[in-house]
Structure 1
């Protein structure tokens, strides 16, 4: 993926709408990666100002897919770029702008807390699946170990099949 990413960065190097960069999350960029939620490598995130959390990119990792996606980037819908919003988005933003900052912060924190709880629940569910898989796999492997010698004996006790006689053709 690195060659595709480097090529993408070169193609958009002079863009005034798209900035392509990379961060080493194992070194000096570790704090930044933790703040924006990078958990695995490589992770591709994109940001539309004023968003500082970013969104995960889940498209193709080849150069063509990356270039096509980057071409769609640019200023998104936000309170400072209402001209990029649909009528529905504008109405929602305008309603939010009327709320006190404390209410906005409270709603944001509630959503973050709900998301964190759902992620924790999902993680426990996945752990349960993993435990079930490991138990099932252990039982399967034990049965295979037990059954294979018996299967071999059963096959050896069966009469050998006669080879097909060749057809007499002229």
Structure 2
């Protein structure tokens, strides 16, 4: 993504009352916010309710970002319950009925579940990388053994014989 494209998009929406396009420097003053919302790589694009930002995985060209931004607007949230489906309204009511400590406990539990999944996936990938490296090393060793067994000399003899017969 070109920084110029993001700057152009921010400029297009700077006067919007319902859509905010912004950037956060995760290496300076915005570091704590980036940690809070789970920024792991740069550039990362998030969208949605500021208290429930979602990962954007679409195209990164200005045209892609403009198309996506055109579909943005207020979303289902405690501030906009009228935008919620019946199912989400029910869930919203259930969550709002809980006391703060129960909500915090549930948030921690769900975040721990996500962290466990992330950790398990990381272990899985590390295992795959180890298998790949072992397989690659074995292949390289086996190829070297075949070459060392006289492949080059065999090719030279074969081509020499072809030249002698006038085939080359």
Band of TM-score, shorter chain:
0.7 to 0.9
The alignment of Structure 1 onto Structure 2 pairs a total of residues equal to: 161
- Aligned residues: CA RMSD: 2.0
Quote how far apart the aligned CAs of 1:119 are: 1.0
Quote how far apart the aligned CAs of 1:19 are: 1.2
Quote how far apart the aligned CAs of 1:28 are: 3.0
Tell me how far apart the structure 1 counterparts of residues 80 and 34 of structure 2 sit (CA, whole Å). 27
Tell me how far apart the structure 2 counterparts of residues 119 and 41 of structure 1 sit (CA, whole Å). 18
Q: Return the structure number with greater helix share.
A: 2
Structure 2 residues without counterparts, runs of 5 or longer: none
Q: Match of 1:168? A: none
Q: Match of 1:145? A: 144
With over 3 angstroms needed to count, the CA separation of the structure-2 counterparts of 1:30 and 1:105, relative to structure 1, is closer
Tell me how far apart the structure 2 counterparts of residues 160 and 67 of structure 1 sit (CA, whole Å). 65
Tell me how far apart the structure 1 counterparts of residues 25 and 151 of structure 2 sit (CA, whole Å). 54
Quote how far apart the aligned CAs of 1:104 are: 2.6
Contact 1:48 1:76 in 2 (8 A): yes
Q: Match of 2:28? A: 27
* More moved, 61-70 vs 20-29: 20-29
Quote how far apart the aligned CAs of 1:3 are: 1.9
Contact 1:48 1:74 in 2 (8 A): no
Find out whether 1:99 has 2:98 as its counterpart: yes
Tell me how far apart the structure 2 counterparts of residues 120 and 140 of structure 1 sit (CA, whole Å). 30
Structure 1 residues without counterparts, runs of 5 or longer: 164-170
TM-score (norm 2): 0.84
Tell me how far apart the structure 1 counterparts of residues 162 and 5 of structure 2 sit (CA, whole Å). 58
With over 3 angstroms needed to count, the CA separation of the structure-2 counterparts of 1:160 and 1:4, relative to structure 1, is farther
Find out whether 1:57 has 2:45 as its counterpart: no
Quote how far apart the aligned CAs of 1:87 are: 1.7
Contact 1:4 1:63 in 2 (8 A): yes
